[in-house]
Amino acid sequence: MMPDSRVEAFLEMLAAERGAAANTLAAYQADLDDFSSFLGRSAPVSRASAAEIAGYVQSLGSSGMAARTQARRLSALKQFFLFLLREGARADNPAAEVSAPKLPKSLPKYLSESEVDALLDAARGMEGLPGLKAQAGLEILYSTGLRVTEMLSLRASALTTDAMMLLVKGKGGKERMIPLSDAARQAAAALRAASPAKARYLFAGRDISQPMTRQGFALLLKQAAIEAGLDPARLSPHVLRHSFASHLLAHGADLRALQKLLGHADIATTEIYTHVLAERLQKLVQAHHPLAVKPAGG
């Protein structure tokens, strides 16, 4: 392989302008070296064509390489050739139009309904103000699907009335109405009664003029998980949001309603939960279709 001074210049730019760590630079170097080996000729990498780059990506897929690794290799090439374009070393970016492999959609992680019940029972047994925060947080997150930042931003006056709806300001300052459960209102009232009188937020931090941090609340959830006999690594505020959405769909809610409750700007974001809909529809067909196989004696 012919040494390419353009590669060295690219790595120097990453280190100087982006502060790339040694491991990051080594990864870029390895990706560019691998592409150079694929070319198998004396010409420098910087002169590669779009067809050669496309052929390289295709070869990665044929070798059985994971889609995410393929995408990372292509990303390295795109950044390298974009650097050359900006530096005037090339008049084009031959990697720009090469498509990355489709990455598999990861399904959201969520708890079973019995696991949520166990968590709530465990939180009710936790003592003091931390226990009240854990119980109120679990009740509110699971019954509303709020983002943890939305919940921690609730003022101390929130949930003080018998109102059945809560007005929440979400991403981009967009407001939405969320139904409230009796259990959430009662848990909030108990927390508020035990909190310092001058606390500005329902979930006050050590500085009562500031809300509790996300990290602090996450630690409370881990403690509740341990008390409930669950793996704490499986639990986070976002897992509760996913649990809220998945359980609602499993009990008959539709995607459009769920989109409004979660505050998603695009229905495509809500569609990550369609795995729950698919399971529900399969059970419906199995239970009610005339050609479905019925249990013996049914």
* Domain extent listing, the chain: 5-87, 113-284
Q: Which two tokens stand for residue 42?
A: 């004396």
Q: What pLDDT shows up at residue 86?
A: 93
Q: Which of 200, 238, 275, 280 is catalytic?
A: 238
264 counts as catalytic: yes
| Coil/strand/helix, residue 177 | strand
Q: Which of 275, 227, 233 is nearest to 108 (CA)?
A: 275
Q: Which of 18, 169, 171, 256 is catalytic?
A: 171
147 counts as catalytic: yes
Q: Which of 110, 142, 201, 273 is catalytic?
A: 273
Q: What is the identity of the amino acid at 279?
A: E
Q: What pLDDT shows up at residue 184?
A: 93
What beta strand segments (E) does the chain contain?
A: 165-169, 175-179
Q: Residue 204 gets which letter from DSSP?
A: B
Q: What pLDDT shows up at residue 169?
A: 84
With b for 16 or more beta-carbon neighbours within 10 A and e for fewer, the 222-236 pattern comes to bbbbebbebebeebb
Q: What pLDDT shows up at residue 141?
A: 94
List, in sequence order, every residue forming a beta bridge with 169; answer none if it has no partner: 175
Which H or E element spans position 14?
A: helix 5-17
Residue with tokens 């997150």: 141
d(CA 155, CA 195): 12
273 counts as catalytic: yes
Q: What pLDDT shows up at residue 110?
A: 85
86 counts as catalytic: no
Residue with tokens 């059945």: 164
| Coil/strand/helix, residue 275 | helix
With b for 16 or more beta-carbon neighbours within 10 A and e for fewer, the 249-267 pattern comes to beeebebeebbebbbbeee
Query: How deeply is 72 buried, as exposed, middle or buried, from its count of CB atoms within 10 A (0-12, 13-18, 19+)?
Result: middle
Q: Which of 147, 192, 242, 247 is catalytic?
A: 147
- 159's torsion region: left (phi>0), alpha (psi -120 to 50) or beta? left
242 counts as catalytic: no
Note whether 7 and 32 are within 8 A (CB).
yes
Q: What pLDDT shows up at residue 294?
A: 57
With b for 16 or more beta-carbon neighbours within 10 A and e for fewer, the 175-195 pattern comes to ebebebeebbbebbeebbeeb
Q: Tell me how far the alpha carbon of residue 104 is from its chain's centroid.
A: 14
State the CATH architecture for 113-284.
Orthogonal Bundle (1.10)
Please give the chain's pLDDT, 298 residues, in tens: 456 789 999 999 999 888 888 888 999 999 999 999 998 866 788 999 999 999 999 999 889 888 888 888 999 999 999 999 999 999 999 998 888 877 665 666 889 999 999 999 999 999 999 999 999 999 999 999 999 999 999 999 888 777 788 888 887 788 899 998 999 999 999 999 999 999 999 999 999 999 999 999 999 999 999 999 999 988 999 899 999 998 888 888 888 898 999 988 888 778 777 766 666 566 666 776 676 655 555 4
d(CA 129, CA 137): 12
Q: Which of 78, 133, 192, 241 is catalytic?
A: 241
260 counts as catalytic: no
